[in-house]
Amino acid sequence: MRVESARLDRLTGLRFIAALAVFVFHGLLFIGGAEWDVVHAVFGQGRSGVSFFFILSGFVLAWSSRPGDTILGFYRRRFARIYPAYLAALLIAGLLWLIRDPKGLANGLLTPFLLQSWVPDKHVYFAVNTPAWSLSVEAFFYLMFPFVIAALRRLSGRGLWVAGAVAVAVPIALAAMASQSLNPADLDDGSFTAWAVYYFPPARLPEFILGAVLALQFRAGLLPTISWKFAVALAATAYLAAGLWPSAFGIVALVIVPFAVLIVAAAQRDIAGTHGWLGGRFSVNLGAISYCFYLVHNIFIARLAQPGFQSLGVDEWVGFGIAFVLSFVTAWALHKYVELPFDRKLGRGASLKADATASAPGRPS
């Protein structure tokens, strides 16, 4: 299909599904008894949604990147796209921490600077707003991207396949090493091993690189057409398997290839102009607020799960529902009044557009 540009709407729609999986994973705090077993079987590995975001980030940035882009221009657009909403969510979380545990804010001195994941202490990388650790990792990706994409562009078609294979092999090797000393029930135990494998920014870089490799391969017409039903079935099976049989492999190693296949299949359907609910207006609008939803969701989950609220009857599914509504409404407000305006002003409106559109494969870049 020869088109000057194409919207990757299915990828936008998939973003909210991944964010929702992470929300339910954290929302397990509200659920107990037999219900917990059922929900945990489906969403116990919801944290693997972060791996989807990392692969998708590399894919979208490489997909929309052009050789003429300047490094400073890229950094400006990423700052405009990410930081204002990040800081606003951090301020909300900080105010609630100030009420509950003022001394605990001292652990978050690095969080405003997106440096928290470089410290092997869970009280630091989880400080103030727990999901913010992944934005610390993303900031490292953005710092590295101009150099990564320049290096990948110099590779031949075969070289890209090798780079992709290495990007897949590294998380598998890290999980194999971690499994020697890390109990599946202790993935958040704050150990050095857990940090080194899952929270240390360079350890997650291969996922980002894989996404970038796939985007370049796609643009060059090097990838086979992937059945959408197959891609969905593969991703769902890997995701559920990671939840049913927890292990050090489940967060990244088990899902990295299935998630990558799903991203490519979704992009191929968008380029082909295939219609579907995931690329519809409702799903795309949800995907548009997914970043803000991800930023704020655990703020409300963590606060509403406190004993004081439980004594008021805000527990189990009631607490879960209230947390979702507050997260959704706050995410919508952040998206409309912070994310979009600052992107238009600081990023000159380019970064949000680039996240959704790019030249079709085969077209000159």
- pTM, entire model: 0.91
Q: What is the tens place of the pLDDT at every residue in 151-160?
A: 999 999 999 9
Residue 119 burial (10 A CB sphere; 0-12, 13-18, 19+): middle
Query: Given the structure tokens 């979208």, which residue do they identify?
Result: 60
Q: What is the pLDDT of residue 31?
A: 81
Q: What is the pLDDT of residue 362?
A: 38
Q: What is the tens place of the pLDDT at every residue in 261-300?
A: 999 999 999 998 888 888 899 999 999 999 999 999 999 9
Q: What is the pLDDT of residue 316?
A: 77
Angle (deg, nearest 10), helices 316-334 and 9-27: 140
Query: Given the structure tokens 């992944």, which residue do they identify?
Result: 134
Q: What is the pLDDT of residue 309?
A: 66
Residues of the chain with pLDDT under 50: 1-4, 357-365
Q: What is the tens place of the pLDDT at every residue in 175-199?
A: 999 888 877 766 777 789 889 999 9
Q: What is the pLDDT of residue 360?
A: 37
Q: What is the pLDDT of residue 170?
A: 97
Q: What is the pLDDT of residue 281?
A: 92
Q: What is the pLDDT of residue 151?
A: 97
Residue 134 burial (10 A CB sphere; 0-12, 13-18, 19+): buried
Q: Which residues pair with 7 in a beta bridge?
A: 357
